[in-house]
Structure 1
Amino acid sequence: MALVTAAVLVPVVVALVVLVNVLGGSVDASDADHSGHGPATIDGTAPPQREDLPVVPVEVPPVTPEADASCPALMGTLPLELTGEPSRRVDSDSPYAYAWGDPPIVLVCGVDRPAGFVTGVSAMQINGVQWYVDTSDPESTVWTTVDRPVYVEITLPADVDSGPVTALTPQIAEALPYREPQPGP
């Protein structure tokens, strides 16, 4: 008899605990009716959402046949959130531009080879993807892949470390096959 009672009682107690937590387990003391119905009040501000951020204008080179052949595979894998920053809309002449956060982190697939990537200049490798890093602008750091069928550029605000680049390398490596780097003259 005790086993039957325990077998019935345990699921009932678990169900009650779940219901209390779902329906009103955390009610702010400042709620007027104290009924536990409706959302709890949370102190602080919510992080910005995609629709809260203004549209980012993004300058892009003309779309090439190589970009049309390669970039859709990458663009379809980009995350809605990158290192805690929500994606945001872009205004661009190319469908291969994407942005996150404020100030924006901007990715453009199908850019030109970076001017500074010449023979003798070393590239940095992160998770199997080789990058040329341009720090000449004090406002931003520009990371460009140099070992894929098209160049992918990620522009970061100067005070942002390589975290977003590191986070995106798995998608780049999977979507775009390796190609021997081809520095300029």
Structure 2
Amino acid sequence: MIATAVAVPVVVALLVVVNVFGPGSEDTSGDDGGAVAEVDGQPVSPRDESPVEVDTPPITPEADAACPALMSQLPLEIAGETSRRVDSDSPYAYAWGDPAQVLVCGADVPAGFVVGGPQALGINGVTWFVDTTDPTVNVWTTVDRTVPVQISIPASTDGSVAIALSPVIAGAIPFTEPQPGG
């Protein structure tokens, strides 16, 4: 009994020392202690954790009425991208990933939107207008919701975030007939 009472704390102490300092106390590798994450043997660069600067339109009474329902349902991770902090004048902005994919609830319908035009896509109960005029970013805007929702997606990525969010938007923001932008 006494041997067990002595052996258990000694084993626990050894486990702590090995886990904290490693199996050997000497470090001859020349490593300064900075760890680099690896995936499948390849080094992974650190993710940008700085807040995403988001320009937003003025908040309207319609946005104040509709956007909180959407914002409360947005996932922390979507399409393999985790959420990021946002620096914005509006509480109705959200971002995922690096490079950031940014959602703004309460956006304006784009001036180039034409009802039934070729850039309108129906996805999972939501009609989107996709503006591809900027070579660096594709801007997806809902055109059949009482309050438009806009997602800016880097042109180097696909629209999986907008596709995955379509059912969430359809459930949170009421439908309205699309109107031309302007």
Do both share a fold (TM > 0.5)?
A: yes
Report if the CA contact (8 A) 1:99-1:107 is conserved: yes
Within 2, Cα distance between the matches of 1:124 and 1:130?
5
Among 38, 56, 61, the alignment partner of 1:44 is: 38
Query: Where does residue 142 of structure 2 map in the other structure?
Result: 145
- Gap change, CA 1:48 and 1:127, over 3 Å in 2: farther
How far off is 1:47 after superposition? 9.0
Query: Where does residue 168 of structure 2 map in the other structure?
Result: 171
Alignment TM-score, normalising by the size of structure 1? 0.73
SS of 2:59's equivalent?
A: coil
SS of 1:169's equivalent?
A: helix
Paired residues for 1:35-114 under 5 Å: 44=38, 53-114=49-110
> Is residue 134 of structure 1 aligned with residue 131 of structure 2?
yes
SS of 2:38's equivalent?
A: coil
Report if the CA contact (8 A) 1:114-1:144 is conserved: yes
Q: What number of residue pairs does the alignment pair up?
A: 149
2:60 alignment partner AA:
T
Within 2, Cα distance between the matches of 1:65 and 1:83?
31
Structure 2 unmatched runs, 5+: 1-21, 25-36
- How big is each residue's C-alpha offset from its partner over 1:66-120, in whole Å with a ceiling of 9 and x where there is no partner? 0000000000000001111110011101000000111000000001111111355
Q: Percent identity?
A: 61
- How big is each residue's C-alpha offset from its partner over 1:39-64, in whole Å with a ceiling of 9 and x where there is no partner? xxxx7268967xx6110110000000
Report if the CA contact (8 A) 1:82-1:167 is conserved: yes
Within 1, Cα distance between the matches of 2:156 and 2:74?
22
Report if the CA contact (8 A) 1:48-1:86 is conserved: no
Query: Where does residue 37 of structure 1 map in the other structure?
Result: none
Report if the CA contact (8 A) 2:115-2:178 is conserved: no
Within 2, Cα distance between the matches of 1:166 and 1:120?
19
Report if the CA contact (8 A) 1:129-1:145 is conserved: yes
- How big is each residue's C-alpha offset from its partner over 1:10-36, in whole Å with a ceiling of 9 and x where there is no partner? xxxxxxxxxxxxxxxxxxxxx628xxx
1:87 alignment partner AA:
S
Query: Where does residue 180 of structure 1 map in the other structure?
Result: 177
SS of 1:74's equivalent?
A: helix
Alignment TM-score, normalising by the size of structure 2? 0.74
